[in-house]
Each structure stands twice: as C-alpha cells, then as structure tokens.
Amino acid sequence: MTAVYAAGAAVMAWAAGVLALAGLPTVPALLLKTVLVAMVLVVVTWRGLQGVRVTSGVVVAVTVASVVGFLANPFTWAARTFLGQLLLPAGAGTLAVDLVAWVAVVLATAVGVRVRMRETAKGYVR
C-alpha cells in the first residue's frame, strides 16, 4: 500500500501540475490536485482494506503505511503534496498541513470501512 500511496499521489500531483502549465490558473490547479490526491488516498485505503478484518491494529498499520507513502512521495520534499499550498506558501507549514490532512483522509476512510464492516456483520445494512 505504501508504494501505491506514494506513486498514486505523485502521479495526480504531476497531472495537476501539467494542467497548470497548460494554462489552468493556480488556484483551480491546486484544487484539482487536492481532489485527485484525496481520491487516490480514499481508493487505495478502501481497496486495500477489502477482505480484511479491520481491527484497530490494521487501522494503525494503514496509517503508518500512508505516512511512509507521504514521505516517499517526491512532491513532499517540495512541500507540494496535498492541500497545504491552498493555505500557505510552500515550506514547513505547508508540509505539516499536508501531513495532517493526508492522515485525516486515510484515517476517516479506514474508520469508515471498519464501521461499514461491523454494520454488515451485524445485519444493519440492507
């Protein structure tokens, strides 16, 4: 999962950058990058947890894998990974905002999958 987090997010950030170079204004390009990277985080987490009994330990492992993926993403080292650039100029603050948002999206998805699996197991889902 770690490699998929890093590669998927990097490809989406690169694609948004290409669109920005093609003439898309800065803010819409940053919004597009944010949406694309968030989609990667949600899909990788959701698909990675399919068929797995999602315990607290699994949620922690997925979170750690996502942080390693964040650090392995080449855009992280330029402080241009996720949504921080919408709020701050590139730098340490942007890096912190990106990391917190990245982990929040992954955790929310993992907890959502866990809740859904519990509901399914108890017969709450139609």
30-60 per-position pLDDT tens digit: 888 889 889 989 999 999 898 888 898 999 9
Helix (H, G, I), strand (E, B) or coil at 22: coil
- pLDDT score, position 126: 56
Between CA 107 and CA 45 the distance in angstroms is 9
Looking at the chain, the whole-number percentage of residues with pLDDT higher than 90 is: 34
pLDDT value at 92 more than 60? yes
For 23, the domain range is: 2-122
Model confidence at 5: pLDDT above 70: yes
pLDDT at 125: 57
pLDDT at position 62, please? 92
Residue 78's pLDDT band, with cuts at 50, 70 and 90, is confident
CA 27 to chain centre: 19
Instruction: Return d(Cα 98, Cα 125) in angstroms, integer.
Output: 34
Cβ distance 24 to 32 under 8 Å?
A: yes
pLDDT of residue 63: 92
Please tell me the total count of domains within the chain: 1
Please give the pLDDT value at position 96: 94
Q: pLDDT at residue 120 above 90?
A: no
Q: Give the Cβ contact number of residue 126 at 10 Å.
A: 3
